[in-house]
A and B are shown apart, each in its own frame.
Chain A
Amino acid sequence: MSRYRVAMDIGGTFTDAVAYDEETGTYVAGKSSTTPQDLTDGVFGALGTVVDDPADVSFSVHGTTQGLNAFLQRRGVRVVLLATSGAGDVLHIARGNRTRLYDIHFRKPTPLVPRRDIVEIEGRLNAAGEEIAALDEAAIRAAARRARDEGAGGIAIAFLFAYLNPAHELRAAEIVAEEAPDLAISLSHQVAREWREYERTSSTVLDAYVAPIVKRYLGRLTGEMAARGLAVPMHVMQSNGGIVSAQAAAQQTLQTLLSGPVGGTMGGVALSRITGRPNLICVDMGGTSFDVSLVVDGKPDVSTEAELEGFPLLMPVVNIHTVGAGGGSLAYEEGGGLRVGPQSAGADPGPACYGRGGTEPTVTDANVVLGRVDPSWFAGGQMTLDVDAAKAAVAGLGDTLGLGTLELADGICAVANAKMAQAIRTLTVEKGIAPSDFALVAFGGAGPMHAAFLAAELEIPETIVPRFPGAFSAWGMLETEIRKDFARSFVQTLPTLDSAGLADALEAQEAEAYAALADEGIDRATGRVEHHVDLRYIGQEYTLTIPVLSADEPRGDTFTADLQARFDTTHAARFGHANPGAPIEFVAARSTGLGDKGRIEPTALDSDAGAEYPTERKEVVFGGAPVQATIVRRDDLPVGVSIDGPAVVVESTATTVVPPGQRLTVDPFGALVLQTDPRS
């Protein structure tokens, strides 16, 4: 009988699974090694640790790295790009900017399509979307044949102004389909219906590059799942912070690309809702990564475009900021001083304590030396750490710098914490918000180890370590809604706005969004569509995404005044100033369909603060000197108990460090909440 809601999330090392038992109201988490050769093996392995029979699953969601891996390893299909005559080099010029200022050896990322595989096609629209040169159909036919004969896997078609009028792209697709029916086709107006040809072309090429691989993977996975008895549709996590059916995901493969860490942010959104904390800084720290994202007013911080290894992607994504290298950050000497990061030991050889030949000390090694990591319980006992190697690495640098091993290990962590905290502060300052208005949520294997120190640096009053911190991303996926985004360029000024035209555009998108939700089994009663417009003061480059209350709001008499006020207020909050009354320009109209597939509302557990639980005492280093700390296993902790630091909470996927002067409490949802001890 179906009673389990299950999430399976592929990570670099492990594939995590979290299941919620609808009958008992309890969660269980498990993991299996990720299997790069065929990711489905790891997925089934992880699923098997939480559910015996796939037929018992009532809802399933999946986060996959298949598309991202294909991109990162440059193992996508060969793509032929059809571009407008005179603009074929746009992909390679890539707007010509440099991202490293003091580097005469700076290189742009190598485009996924070499210049010889870009075919310029006659046919031109003007800035009003009107045809001023007819499409050269013979040239398209020839290009399609060539692509077919040379064994290309996909064709990307990106014509100028197609976001205004897709006729040329659609006709070109017809011709390609006639000549080369097996070739996957990606059209720029379908991938990203927005202006700026480089960004749109880059998105389309990336889509064409990975789409066949992601489709094949999803087809194989869902087929095999069904064969094993899964009776409900699979859902897939998207970069925009929503989920869709696997079937829909195969049509929007680009959206799966950056979905990996997004589950964690959505977990933060769920925590925010459940625990009533509107603003969260989510910190995901793994062995070699450190990702930061924000939940503001209970919503994920979503931006309308992203970048992947220097390639722009025009699509809504939850903002994930990668900051430094986390536990893999190397400590070294330079000019007689200590440095920590940005250089990283990476995953291979990794920190010295991994015992894979790394000899330079990392932040993880420092944590091991300090006694903050249980060497036999690292990654749930799947890896035993070499404490001596960690000590030797730290001691070696200590000799160079004239510092004792413990002192230096503490120092390495202190420097790493200071730098991570500063990076978080700069991120919030850029958005015009103060970190002290937030709570910190820490997850990933190493997040809870550093969180309390980061919070202290940032003057953040509360740190939360959720349940299953190592599988929080998977947990977050269980708490995520269906999401479908629709957008198009809408370039007009507010003073001369065609209000009916805007309402028409939003209503058309709303109809598309409801149709897409219906495909996911969500009707108009349970689904909803939210509308936004991208606005800016005329002359500005950056836009702000401002809500429109309903598709027909523009038809109202006060709309332009209301929208102006909304924009001015947001501008003042975000940039510190506004220019009330200055003319505003529209750039894009966006509509988002959202619908709940029956998320879980966890119930608060009763306090059991008086219950006994086993503890140990052990030496852990704080402030450069060993002190006696309380060591507990998280699974043993009753709801409602409080423990004063220094303490270390050990569990299978992570270690939570409670420094002296902080107090830990287990909240009614099982999360660990760390606060500065009022007595200290």
Chain B
Amino acid sequence: MATRTIDPITTEIVRSAFTAAADEMNATLIRSAYTPIIYEMKDCSVALLSADHRVLGQSAGLPIFLGNLEVCTQLTEERFGRDAWQPGDVWLMNDSYLTGTHLNDMTVFGPIFHAGELAGFAACRAHWLDVGAKDPGGAMDSTDIWQDGIRIAPIKVAEGGVQRDDVTQLLGLNSRFSYPAMGDLGAQIACVRTGQSRLEAIIGRFGTETLELAREEIFAQTERFERAAIAAIPDGTYQAEGCIDGDGVGSGPCWVRVRVVVDGERMTIDLTDSDDMQRGPVNCGEAQAISACRVAYKLLVNPDNPPDGGAFRALDVDVRPGSLLAAQEPAPCQWYFTPLGLLIDLVVKALAEVMPEQAAGASYGDSMVIALSGMDQRGPAAAPWLLYEPTVGGWGAWDSSDGQDGLINNVNGSLKDMAIEVLETKYPVRLVHYGFRTDSGGPGRYRGGTGVIRRYVVEADSAELSLWFERSVTPAWGLLGGADATPPDVIVNPGGDDERHYLKASRVPLKRGDVVQTMTGGGGGYGDPREREVEAVRLDVLDGYVSEAAAREVYGWDGTT
């Protein structure tokens, strides 16, 4: 029997049709979502999957959501059987141990049928503002998964094209902000429907047989491309380790250990030596640890192509069930991404010696969240307020450039900081300083980026402060002779009699006039600082990124030009 083949032109048109379908699903989700966390922070991802759970097209809002939506359809099928898939049904799940991420992330998916046959799936994941955790939005000090919110195994949220009232109400009743949650659920269902209609249109245009051939060829191309990229990395075993400061409820540091084995065209990332799962909310499910490894792999191996079912075939990830990277009941997972930001940087560090051009010094590492809340008395009626924001910091330098100053962390994707004018208009807080933190970047031939200082003054009678600042024990490291960066710090009332330092805190009481000064870390340097060009050092001093004292001491600057 002759082997059927497909021409490269049709293959490429099909490939871009799959990618475009995913982009269209993403556009539908983002334009229909109710909450800024989805449409502004892009805390979401979508995928179009084949009937055998392989990625045809994917569009990720957050980098960390790379390639784990197929896990959800696969698990559902394992539990309920292939016959469970029925036209018009839409499913939902959020269990951390299955999906890998925190309970706020709702994964919604549905089967796609063509001519009565199961033809694929459309799936999306989006962060809901509140899922009934012990604290609004999510807790910083939960000690079991039930404190993180409602936990849902795969369940049908629509049947035969009709949304189920009972399940919808169950979801609504378990959110403090049920109105936007229901809106976001609607947006996710609309996204799944878009995926369904796009895949049906693609099948209608090309036919099942052509699509199958195209798909296999697309996957083969991606796999070939990635295998060639891995083959170019010298074989060997490469290791790195680092720690997060703690689990948020008093234990720490918690170690993440990475062993990367490159063997010909295969790469294995072994995480089994990482610490056991923790009592506090810094654990993640296995699926999300694999996702983070894929992000690191993608950074180094195939950054430009959209991922498909052929991607990551050359990558194996080993995790140890019961570790903080493959958590089990009852470990809480609210801050699942804190060890993952570190993990991504560690994979890059492990491979830096053999991929010096693709590598970079470490970044400042985590979201660095400040939350200020209280009652706002400025208007005619007192109203509750909550200012909740991640903070930018320094990124690592690489072999041809200084690191970036004041950039959002890897895990937060494309998040923008809050404008001072918006912040002061919305909240009884004044932001009196927002600027770079001199000398915080790791020195190097190429300097690590600097962190920032943000100074808030409370303008309400009382307020509460919560903090999630990280990576003081393992601040951003340098590479190839580059030095480590300065770690983060938070000071309440700096210079006052009651000056206090924090990194993590829950609900610290503040009064009017109190000052909170957050300081994020810098990025790691690259290469020996003594080799930095004199002119670059001089300009750093002139621009205030580096103090004159540090320029003399670390860079050996003689103060002249």
Enumerate chain A interface residues (CB-CB to B < 8 A).
86-90, 92-99, 101-108, 114-116, 126-127, 160-161, 163, 195-199, 334-340, 401-403, 407-408, 410-411, 414-415, 418-419, 422-423, 425-426, 429-430, 432, 491, 496, 539-542, 574-577, 579
Contacts and interface: CB of A to CB of B under 8 A. Distances in A.
A116 B436 CA distance: 13
Interface-central residue, B304, B396, B452, by most chain A CB under 10 Å: B304
B405 interface: yes
B15 interface: yes
Interface of B: 7-9, 11-13, 15-17, 19-20, 23-24, 27-28, 31-32, 34-36, 39-40, 60, 62-63, 179-180, 183, 186-187, 190, 194, 217-218, 220-225, 228, 295, 298-299, 303-304, 348, 359-360, 363, 380, 392, 395-396, 398, 401, 404-408, 410, 413-417, 419-422, 424-425, 430-436, 452, 455, 539, 542-545
Contacts of B39: 541-542
Nearest to B295: A102
A579 B63 contact: no
A411 B423 CA distance: 53
Contact of A338 (B12, B299, B396, B432): B12
B190 to A, nearest CB: 6
A160 B299 CA distance: 38
A415 B9 CA distance: 7
Contacts of B416: 95-97
Given A99-B414, A401-B8, A197 B63 contact: no
A195 B422 contact: yes
A49 to B, nearest CB: 41
Contact of B425 (A115, A198, A491, A579): A491
B408 A425 contact: no
A655 B137 CA distance: 58
A337 B221 contact: yes
Interface-central residue, A90, A104, A126, A161, by most chain B CB under 10 Å: A104
Contacts of B405: 92-93
19 contacts: A86-B432, A87-B434, A95-B417, A97-B414, A101-B60, A104-B410, A105-B398, A115-B436, A196-B421, A334-B221, A337-B217, A338-B8, A410-B9, A411-B9, A415-B12, A419-B20, A422-B19, A539-B35, A579-B183
A418 B396 contact: no
Contact of B9 (A414, A422, A423): A414
Contacts of A195: 419, 421-422, 425
A126 B419 CA distance: 14
B186 A577 contact: yes
A98 B408 contact: yes
Contact of B406 (A92, A104, A163, A401): A92
Given A105-B401, A576-B190, A338 B222 contact: no
Given A97-B416, A116-B544, A415-B9, 12 more contacts: A89-B406, A89-B436, A94-B406, A96-B392, A115-B545, A337-B8, A419-B16, A426-B23, A426-B24, A576-B187, A577-B187, A579-B179
A127 B425 contact: yes
Nearest to B379: A496
A106 B401 contact: no
Contacts, number: 211
Interface of B is mostly: helix
Contacts of A334: 221, 225
Given A86-B433, A418-B13, A96 B408 contact: yes
B16 A418 contact: yes
A338 B11 CA distance: 8
A206 B422 CA distance: 22
B404 A108 contact: yes
Contact of B407 (A108, A339, A432, A496): A108
Nearest to B222: A335
B162 to A, nearest CB: 18
A136 B129 CA distance: 44
Contacts of B542: 116
B452 A93 contact: yes
B399 to A, nearest CB: 9
A102 B420 CA distance: 29
Nearest to B302: A102
Contacts of B304: 102
Contacts of B422: 195-196
A96 B407 contact: yes
Given A97-B415, A195-B422, A419-B16, A335 B224 contact: yes
Contact of A98 (B23, B414, B419, B434): B414
A602 B164 CA distance: 58
A576 B420 contact: no
A106 B223 CA distance: 25
A656 B179 CA distance: 52
Contacts of B433: 86-87
A425 B380 CA distance: 47
A97 B434 CA distance: 16
B36 A116 contact: no
A573 B60 CA distance: 25
9 cross-chain pairs, A with B, having the tightest CB-CB distances, nearest first: A411-B9, A96-B392, A335-B221, A422-B20, A335-B225, A89-B435, A115-B543, A337-B221, A338-B8
Nearest to A408: B9
A328 to B, nearest CB: 18
Contact of B298 (A102, A108, A432): A102
A410 B360 CA distance: 42
B3 to A, nearest CB: 14
Nearest to A422: B20
Given A92-B405, A126-B430, A576 B32 contact: yes
Contacts of B396: 104
Given A89-B435, A115-B545, A195-B419, A101 B413 contact: yes
B299 A104 contact: yes
Contact of A197 (B11, B186, B421): B421
B478 to A, nearest CB: 14
A89 to B, nearest CB: 4
B430 A89 contact: no
Contacts of B12: 337-340, 411, 415
A206 to B, nearest CB: 18
A312 B44 CA distance: 25
B151 to A, nearest CB: 27
B435 to A, nearest CB: 4
A422 B179 CA distance: 34
A577 B222 CA distance: 38
A251 to B, nearest CB: 25
Contacts of B8: 336-338, 401-403, 411
Contacts of A411: 7-9, 12
Contacts of A491: 425
A422 B420 CA distance: 38
Nearest to A412: B9
Contacts of B436: 89, 92-93, 115
Contact of B32 (A92, A415, A577): A577
Contacts of B420: 87, 90, 160, 197
A341 to B, nearest CB: 10
Given A105-B401, A114-B543, A577-B32, A336 B221 contact: yes
Nearest to B61: A101
B408 A160 contact: no
Interface-central residue, B220, B298, B406, by most chain A CB under 10 Å: B406
A126 B363 CA distance: 34
Contacts of B452: 89, 93
Given A102-B299, A577-B183, A336 B417 contact: no
A335 B221 CA distance: 4
B236 to A, nearest CB: 21
A186 to B, nearest CB: 19
A97 to B, nearest CB: 4
B401 to A, nearest CB: 7
A432 B16 contact: no
Nearest to A88: B435
B184 to A, nearest CB: 10
Contacts of A402: 8
